Every structure is written in C-alpha cells, then in structure tokens.
Amino acid sequence: MTYHHGDLRRALLAQTASAIAEDGVARLSMRALAKRAGVSNAAPTYHFGDKAGLLTALAAEGFDLLAEAMADAGDGQGHVARGVAYVEFALRCPSHFTVMFQPRLLHDDDPELVAARQRAWGALSVGVDEVRSGPDADFGVASWSLVHGYATLVLSGAIEPDDALRQARAVAAHLVSEADGRT
C-alpha cells in the first residue's frame, strides 16, 4: 500500500466515479476501490461505512454539483439554460447521475443527501418560477422529466445526437413555448 495524503475522502469519491464509469455500479466493491486508490481495505469503510454510504456520498456530491451548474446557468439566462445545464451535468458526470437516481442503493435519509437534493430541486424550481407565475408542481415535474429523460436517452445510447447540448436547448425550449401558451 502507498501512503495517501491529502483529501482521501475526495480521492475515494473520484475513484468511485471512475470505477462506475468503467464497470458499472453493480460491479463496484469497497475492496476493489481501496486497491484502485492504493489504500488499505479498511480506508473506504472508515470514511463511508459501507457501499451504500459511499454511493450516498457520491450522490450528495452529484446533487450539489447539479445545483451549482443550474444556478450558474440561470444567472440571467432562464429556464432553458437551466435545463441545458442539467443535461450538460449528466453528460459530464455520468457516474454521479446514475447513482443519484437509484434510492435503493443509498442511505436515502442521509441528511447531507437530503439537503443536496433540496438544493438541486431549488435550483430547478427557480427556473420554473421564471416561466410560470405562481406555483405549478406539474410544470416542475414536466420540466425535470423532460431534461432528465433526454439526458438518460443520450447516456444510454438510445439516441446519438450530433450535438447533444444544442438538441437539449431545442428540446427544453418546448417547455418555454408551452408556458407562454404557444404549442
């Protein structure tokens, strides 16, 4: 084993994302992760408790990254930009994206995960509020479904656009035209 200095927790999360990208979440093991990171077999357990704890931390990190991406995109750019940022995040961080929406793999009641989810939903909701006057839960779910579904189709290879972000922008624009009363 090599001596590991610095932020081991962060390094283990990065190795987890890489391992999921290479082999899928089902093949991830704490022992293999320790070997990849060059640390003792006990190190991942010390930081995360178990595999669900590790995946929960990765999901929480993903929701925070997603919230940040949507908030940054929304600064004066609106609902469509937030939707495109959602898709861009999914394409940039596919391992996070995969784990974030599999609650059976996670400690679903983990306070950090719950807070991170709320931040991400809040960032998406701001975009909904920009388009709709007053609360509209159905429109929020429709917005989320559209960008999430599109990202999932691209990541799975079900669709292979020449420019996924350009197409995401066009797809998300349908929600704005619908909100304006245009179809």
Comparing C-alpha atoms, which of 39, 20, 120, 117 is closest to residue 74? 120
Tens of pLDDT, residue by residue over 123-139, are 888 766 666 665 566 77
- The architecture that CATH gives domain 51-179 is Orthogonal Bundle (1.10)
Judge contact between 54 and 17, C-beta under 8 A: no
Query: In CATH, what number does 1-49 get?
Result: 1.10.10.60
Angstrom distance (rounded) from CA 8 to CA 66: 23
Widest CA span of the chain, in angstroms? 62
Could you tell me the CA-to-CA distances from 84 to 36, 42, 54, 114, 142 in Å, in that order?
A: 33, 40, 28, 24, 15
Angstrom distance (rounded) from CA 44 to CA 53: 10
**Average pLDDT value for residue range 38-51:** 94
Record the pTM: 0.88
Could you tell me the CA-to-CA distances from 171 to 154, 162, 180 in Å, in that order?
A: 13, 14, 15
Where along the chain do its domains lie?
1-49, 51-179
Question: Tell me, what's the pLDDT at 1?
Answer: 46
Question: Tell me, what's the pLDDT at 136?
Answer: 65
**Residue with token string 């779910």:** 141
pLDDT above 90 for 163:
yes
Q: Is 164 helix (H, G, I), strand (E, B) or coil?
A: helix
Question: Tell me, what's the pLDDT at 172?
Answer: 84
Question: Tell me, what's the pLDDT at 11?
Answer: 92
Q: Phi-psi category of 157—alpha, beta or left, where left has phi over 0 and alpha has psi -120 to 50?
A: left
